[in-house]
């Protein structure tokens, strides 16, 4: 989660580079694309969406194209209904299949529609909750971010790879159940299958997921190979 100071620094540096450095308006036109993209970038930064995925579009999708077209884009198209009904998406699949990619796409589209968003991983959420025990400002900001229109939690279950965490179990159940009781949608991603999730978090969470989430089973394939190709090209290693 971003601190107030981190956000202020990002706003200053990004504005200097992309707004005042704009070749078209040099920061003098608030309706220029540079200012619009700056506002989106600031919101995405505060929302903790991975920066690799801020400007993706449909043409960037190579893996799991059918899921993108028939589930992700449909969800975005019906975003207002999802918001009103508290309907979410649960992405299940191995590392590198595009779960974070698709979640980030949905969040970025939500930002463009004026919605508030927050992206976190389970390990980060665990860390920030504990930071909040000693820092009231962190606790306040985290509580605020967790009430965003669209909340995304990635790597669900990863915190359990090291030890059973009864406290985090209760926290994740409180967050998920509380949001869905209030019709606040969530986007979740995990490497676990539904049976393992139920064993990890109990039948209450499993029942909630089946009730208000579209379960998305991701097909094998590693999008990171495309990122590597881009890195090789950008750095001139090819």
Per-residue pLDDT tens digits for 62-114 = 889 999 999 999 999 999 999 999 999 999 999 889 999 999 999 999 999 99
According to the 3-state scheme, what is the secondary structure of 151-220? EEEEEECHHHHCCCCHHHHHHHHHHHHHHHHCCCCEEEEECCCHHHHHHHHCHHHHHHHHHHEEEEECCC
Pick the residue with more confidence: 203 or 51?
51
E strand or H helix that includes residue 119: strand 117-121
Enter the pTM of the model.
0.90
Rounded Cα distance between 158 and 120, Å, is 12
Quote the pLDDT of residue 77. Answer: 97
Per-residue pLDDT tens digits for 129-179 = 999 889 998 899 999 999 999 999 999 887 654 555 677 778 888 898 899
The CATH class that applies to domain 48-235 reads: alpha beta
């Amino acid at each position: 989660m971003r601190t107030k100071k981190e956000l202020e620094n990002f706003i200053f540096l990004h504005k200097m580079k992309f707004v005042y450095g704009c070749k078209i308006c040099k920061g003098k036109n608030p309706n220029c694309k540079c200012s619009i993209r700056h506002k989106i970038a600031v919101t995405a930064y505060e929302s903790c969406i991975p920066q690799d995925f801020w400007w993706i579009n449909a043409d960037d999708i190579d893996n799991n194209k059918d899921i993108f077209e028939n589930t992700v884009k449909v969800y975005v198209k019906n975003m207002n209904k999802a918001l009103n009904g508290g309907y979410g998406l649960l992405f299940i699949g191995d590392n590198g299949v595009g779960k974070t990619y698709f979640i980030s796409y949905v969040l970025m589209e939500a930002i463009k529609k004026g919605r508030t968003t927050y992206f976190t991983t389970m390990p980060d959420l665990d860390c920030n909750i504990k930071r909040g025990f000693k820092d009231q400002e962190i606790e306040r900001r985290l509580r605020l971010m967790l009430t965003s229109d669209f909340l995304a939690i990635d790597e669900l279950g990863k915190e359990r790879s090291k030890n059973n965490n009864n406290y985090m179990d209760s926290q994740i159940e409180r967050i998920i159940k509380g949001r869905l009781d209030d019709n606040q949608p969530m986007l979740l991603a995990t490497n676990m299958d539904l049976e393992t999730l139920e064993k990890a978090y109990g039948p209450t969470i499993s029942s909630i997921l089946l009730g208000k989430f579209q379960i998305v089973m991701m097909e094998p394939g590693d999008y990171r190979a495309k990122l590597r190709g881009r890195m090789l090209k950008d750095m001139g290693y090819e």
